[in-house]
Amino acid sequence: MDLNWDFPYPSQRMPVFARNVVAASQPLASQAGVQMLARSGNAVDAVLAAAITLTVVEPTSNGIGSDAFAIVWDGKELHGLNGSGRSPLAWSAERFAGLGRMPQFGWDAVTVPGAVDAWSALSRRFGKLPFADLFEPAIRYAADGFIVSPITANQWSMTPDRYRDFPAFAKTFLPGGRAPLPGEHFRPAGLAGALKAIAETGGESLYRGELAEKIVLFARQTGGALAAEDLAEHHSEWVRTLSQAWRGVTLHELPPNGQGLVVLIALGILKHLDIAHHRRFPLSPRTAAPSI
């Protein structure tokens, strides 16, 4: 096959040639996924191990209280999983009356954590390795600590002002009253124990066990509406994907409440437009983008 190795972009990226590749936004998470493949795990095992590890080594973008969405190809068909949590039952229109928009911080911005149940559902249906095995890298980094990477440290540096009204956050994520610097060692207090409880119970602890009790108690003490019933009734949903054909390729996305529908709508609009005709400036051979 004749390949073009001429890279016209200022930021040059070389391809990776390997039988198995795990891509994540943090190298330690990618390594966790590769470790699962080395244990004869499959792609789902690798993805889950990487995602779980990200909750430790990249807390600025991930957490065990977050949501998860997945599209899985099993070799024959696509399976969609909506692992987002619902709002607490106690939320009402009256609770948010007079606000110009939904709160971005505090308990009134918190829905039921969905990621942990999504991990469990994906592992049960498609994984090969024991669920607890997927947590080993994350638990190790949480217990022993890890070196903070530059990109994560940059995002972390914005948190002291943003979360100054949340002392519990500062206690865990702002040791000494500041965000960790690039290259510094950080060990998140208590996270290893939480991950271990999730691993040993298949996620049950977060929804109907010890961790759930701690979450509900803290919510009650600090003005949150999240209750035991909200956590206990949560479950991820297997869904059919929505798709849009575009020039010989079919793009699949999850249906709402995710945002993939926006991409499908955009492609539907583009079908009726002559993109090349609307280009404002001619593209040179060195900067030419692939045609849509």
Alpha helices in the chain (DSSP H): 27-38, 43-57, 115-126, 136-144, 150-156, 159-162, 167-173, 191-201, 204-208, 210-221, 228-232, 260-270
Per-residue pLDDT of 213-249, as tens digits, reads: 999 999 999 999 999 999 999 999 999 999 999 888 9
pLDDT of residue 15: 79
Closest CA to 48 of 129, 149, 157: 129
SS3 content of the chain, % helix, strand, coil (to 5): 45, 10, 45
Do 217 and 251 fall within a single domain?
no
pLDDT band at 17 (very low <50, low <70, confident <90, very high): confident
Question: Distance (Å, rounded) from C-alpha 67 to C-alpha 115?
Answer: 4
Residue-level pLDDT at 40 = 96
138 belongs to a structural domain? yes
Q: Is residue 42 part of a domain?
A: yes
Tokens 């529908």 sit at which residue?
261
Considering the domain architecture, whether residues 98 and 208 belong to the same structural domain is answered as yes
Per cent of the chain over pLDDT 90 is 80
Q: What is the largest CA-CA distance in the chain?
A: 65
Q: Indicate whether 192 and 273 sit together in one domain.
A: no
Give the pLDDT of residue 1.
54
pLDDT at residue 6, as a whole number: 72
Residue 108, in any domain of the structure: yes
Mean of pLDDT over the chain: 91
User: pLDDT at position 112, please?
Assistant: 98
For residues 201 and 251, membership in a common domain is answered with no
pLDDT above 60 (res 25): yes
pLDDT band at 292 (very low <50, low <70, confident <90, very high): very low
Q: What residues make up the domain containing 274?
A: 242-278
The average pLDDT across 131-139 equals 98
pLDDT tens profile 93-127: 999 999 999 999 999 999 999 999 999 999 999 99
Q: Give the position of tokens 């701690």.
A: 214
Residue 283 lies in a domain: no
Mean local confidence (pLDDT), 69-92: 96
Provide the pLDDT for residue 136: 98
Is 98 in the same domain as 110? yes
Per-residue confidence (pLDDT) for residue 279, from 0 to 100: 61
80 in any annotated domain? yes
Give me the mean pLDDT over the 124-144 stretch. 98
Beta bridge partners of 154: none
82 found inside a domain: yes
- Whether the pTM exceeds 0.95: the reply is no
The DSSP call for residue 117 is H
Same domain (yes/no): 271, 197: no
Per-residue pLDDT, 287: 46
pLDDT range class, residue 291, cuts 50, 70, 90: very low
Judge if 76 and 215 occupy the same domain: yes
Q: Is the residue at 161 inside a domain? A: no
The per-residue pLDDT for 154 is 95
Domain assignment present for 19: no
Separation of alpha carbons 273 and 105, rounded Å: 41
One domain, residues 257 and 221: no
Number of domains in the chain: 2
Same domain, 114 and 31: yes
83 C-beta neighbours (distance < 10 Å), count:
23
Amino acid at 212: A
pLDDT of residue 281: 54
CB atoms within 10 A of CB 216: 18
Question: What does the alpha-carbon distance between residue 35 and residue 32 come to, in Å, rounded to a whole number?
Answer: 5
Clarify whether residues 130 and 258 are in a common domain.
no
- pLDDT digits over 178-216, tens only? 999 999 999 999 999 999 999 999 999 999 999 999 999
The pLDDT value recorded for residue 3 is 67
